[in-house]
Amino acid sequence: MSFTIHGLPVSQGIAIGHAHLVSRALLEVNHYHVAERHVADEVRRLDDAVAAVRDELGALKLTAASSHAHGEVGAFVDLQLIMLADPLLVDAARTLIQERRCNAEWAMVQQMEHLVAQFEQIEDSYLRERKADVVQVVERVVKSLIGHPGHLPPKRRDGLGTIIVAHDLSPADTIGFRDHNIAGFLTDIGGPTSHTAIVARTLAIPAVVGLHRIRELVEENELIIIDGTLGIVIVDPDEAIVEEYRLRRSELELKRSRLKLLRDTPSSTLDGRAIALLANIEGPGDVTHIRAANADGVGLYRTEFLFMGREDLPGEDEQFEAYRTVLKALAGRPVTIRTFDVGADKMLSMPNQREEPNPALGLRAIRFSLAEPQMFRTQLRALLRASAYGQLRIMIPMVSHVQELDQALTMIALARDELLAERHRIADRVEIGAMIEVPAAALAIGMFKKRVSFLSLGTNDLIQYTLAIDRTDDAVVHLYDPLHPAVLKLISGTIQAGTRLGMSVSVCGEMAGDPNYTRLLLGMGLREFSMHPTNVLEIKQQLLHADYSELAPRVQRILRMEEPARLREAVMRLAN
Ligand code: PEP
Ligand code: MG
């Protein structure tokens, strides 16, 4: 039966494809039935994967034996080995393959969900929390299975992509879509500036979130249309509707290809004010998007994505390669690399992580880095080594206290001395900057003077922390307001104070890539906008038709307005 449902549009565009229901964010596995004649092979595939994980855990135990974390890691590995031998897990999954002809991944995940539900009934909180170990051991087996595919069902012939339908997706899951033919995704929960939504925009995958019960309403394989601009989802549409959306999709593609004509046009306003249009990226894979848009450099490289969705940590050499690749590809254009902003909705999948009572206000960003000095030192060394290959700028996220910045600066200086003593090549000058993401920092810009040479406004967090709105919670999403008078005062105050004190100021939050706010930010005096590479040309088009000298006094009047409705109307008028 066909029906339409509305949610929060988080990533523009139209996608048409078949639903694939995902049971848990991390364990996004294919569900299919194996042919009768392949059942024995599928059971063997499961047994091989289990044996491989057993070996992997054994090796992990040996490595841990020589490290200081011996006791903790040993106990956790033992626990996972016991679970792997428990008939309730692997034997039961084997039966599901034999009796219901489920593929091995699906069988393991079903059994895991059954066990997790049982753990959740347990009163003892210690035992209840052991469900995390079941999940982790199943993840290991699933990873091994994915590396050794079995007899997959035949590929679709209709050329339509897959639409992921999930209760929730983590940013790490979403970044994994890059290499799979994923046309779009839908989730029950989430907000427009959650990192999952941000990654969807970078990958240009249409997405709608905050749909509440989509996971229950849709069936595996059902045809779905997503309008990621309006937040509309049509399930099981008839042929006429599909045709209409195909047409709309072609119109959007035409619009995008027209924008490509602006690729080599210098970005400046009607009255000749040059504006830098920089890209936000999540990894070296995004370099092609930067080239397509001909961005002036990278304004935000979210390095935490290198650390997510894996159980080990990237070492110095691996990080060095990732940073160097981007610096070399940008051939002398500035590349602003943010030290990892782990925490809140970007958790690492490491064992024994502390449970955060309030993740957005806890150990996140620079706070996490300073609490894990070894990890931070490794990153700083990799960054400084990469500095020899381009114009590196290091950016520190979520600074609220000057001591945090001073400690980071000291660690950078120490890493530099170490590397020079080891005869590594390092650029003579690496600019250091700070992100302005909490109101305390925006109200005390003077404390950054002489410490850093640039500031970047992370408006996503600045709005979250100013208005006390969890950016991932769709229940309060209606209160998330970039045009709140308090938010605008903090943004414009930062641009003015930073510029007056000799620091360059950019905006790298989602506001910078939203054409509704281009004239407003320009009129505040902003000269550097950093956004998803896919938005660069649209923002350039806005700037080419804007006149800074005419906008500046109008924006000053808007900043004095206290009545939100009048203020909003005045901002919308700027665009005309
Ligand atoms: C921001 O907060 O605006 C920002 C750019 O950082 P992130 O979205 O990664 O938190
Ligand atoms: Mg932020």
Q: Which pLDDT does position 245 carry in this prediction?
A: 96
Binding site as annotated, residues for Mg(2+): 437, 461
Q: Which pLDDT does position 544 carry in this prediction?
A: 97
Q: Is the pLDDT of residue 151 over 70?
A: no
Does 387 share its domain with 441? yes
Candidate from 460, 463, 535 with most ligand 1 atoms within 8 A of CB, to mutate? 460
Tens digits of per-residue pLDDT, 80-130? Answer: 889 888 888 999 999 999 999 988 988 998 899 888 888 888 877 777 777
Does 355 share its domain with 330? yes
CA of 345 to the centre of ligand 2 (A): 11
* Given 20, 31, 167, 195, the catalytic residue: 195
| Closest residue by CA, ligand 1 atom 8 | 460
The separation between the first and the last C-alpha atoms of the chain, rounded to the nearest angstrom, is 43
Structural domain including 381 reads 263-575
Closest ligand 1 atom to 460 CA: 3
Binding site as annotated, residues: 302, 338, 437, 460-461, 471
Tens digits of per-residue pLDDT, 372-401? Answer: 999 999 999 999 999 999 999 999 999 999
Domain count, the chain: 3
Q: Which pLDDT does position 265 carry in this prediction?
A: 97
CA of 50 to the centre of ligand 2 (A): 39
Residue 191: which CATH number?
Answer: 3.50.30.10
Does 177 share its domain with 299? no
Burial 505-529 (b: 16+ CB within 10 A, else e): bbbbbbbbbbeebbbbbbbbbbbbb
Does 523 share its domain with 460? yes
Q: For residue 271, count other CB atoms closer than 10 A to its CB.
A: 11
Q: Which pLDDT does position 137 carry in this prediction?
A: 87
Distance CA 208, CA 224 (A): 12
Does 67 share its domain with 89? yes
Residue 94: which CATH number?
Answer: 1.10.274.10
Q: Which is more confident, 462 or 130?
A: 462
Does 229 share its domain with 323? no
Distance CA 441, CA 430 (A): 23
Percentage above 90 pLDDT, the chain: 66
Percentage above 70 pLDDT, the chain: 93
The answer to whether 461 and 471 have CB atoms below 8 angstroms apart is yes
Give the least confident one: 27-36, 89-98, 481-490: 27-36
pLDDT bracket for residue 73 (50, 70, 90): low
| Closest residue by CA, ligand 1 atom 6 | 458
CA of 179 to the centre of ligand 2 (A): 26
Residues with CB under 6 A from ligand 1: 198, 300, 302, 341, 437, 458-461, 508-509
Give the least confident one: 68-82, 183-197, 450-464: 68-82
Per the prediction, the chain carries an average pLDDT of 90
Could you please report the per-residue DSSP string of 470-503? Answer: -TT-GGGGGG--TT-HHHHHHHHHHHHHHHHTT-
The answer to whether 511 and 517 have CB atoms below 8 angstroms apart is yes
Q: Which pLDDT does position 26 carry in this prediction?
A: 46
SS3 306: helix
Q: Is the pLDDT of residue 532 over 50?
A: yes
* Side chain identity at residue 279, one-letter code: A
The answer to whether 543 and 512 have CB atoms below 8 angstroms apart is no
Does 410 share its domain with 452? yes
Tens digits of per-residue pLDDT, 6-30? Answer: 999 999 999 999 998 876 544 556 7
- Please indicate whether residue 508 is annotated as part of the active site: yes
Does 242 share its domain with 273? no
Q: Is the pLDDT of residue 308 over 90?
A: no
Does 464 share its domain with 483? yes
Does 405 share its domain with 501? yes
CA of 452 to the centre of ligand 1 (A): 19
Does 274 share its domain with 413? yes
Give the least confident one: 179-188, 224-233, 325-334, 395-404: 179-188
Residue 550: which CATH number?
Answer: 3.20.20.60
Tens digits of per-residue pLDDT, 239-273? Answer: 999 999 999 999 999 999 999 999 999 999 999 99
- Please indicate whether residue 478 is annotated as part of the active site: no
Single out the residue in 145, 178, 197 at which a domain terminates.
145
Q: Which residues contact 253 (CB under 8 A, 6 or more apart)?
A: none
CA of 22 to the centre of ligand 1 (A): 27
Does 331 share its domain with 473? yes
Q: Which is more confident, 140 or 208?
A: 208
Q: Which pLDDT does position 154 carry in this prediction?
A: 46
Single out the residue in 83, 117, 145 at which a domain terminates.
145
Q: Which pLDDT does position 513 carry in this prediction?
A: 96
SS3 366: helix
H-only helix segments in 339-372: 366-371
| Closest residue by CA, ligand 1 atom 10 | 461
Q: Which pLDDT does position 346 carry in this prediction?
A: 76
* Given 31, 289, 484, 508, the catalytic residue: 508
Candidate from 174, 196, 298, 302 with most ligand 1 atoms within 8 A of CB, to mutate? 302
Q: Which pLDDT does position 74 carry in this prediction?
A: 74
Single out the residue in 257, 283, 299 at which a domain terminates.
257
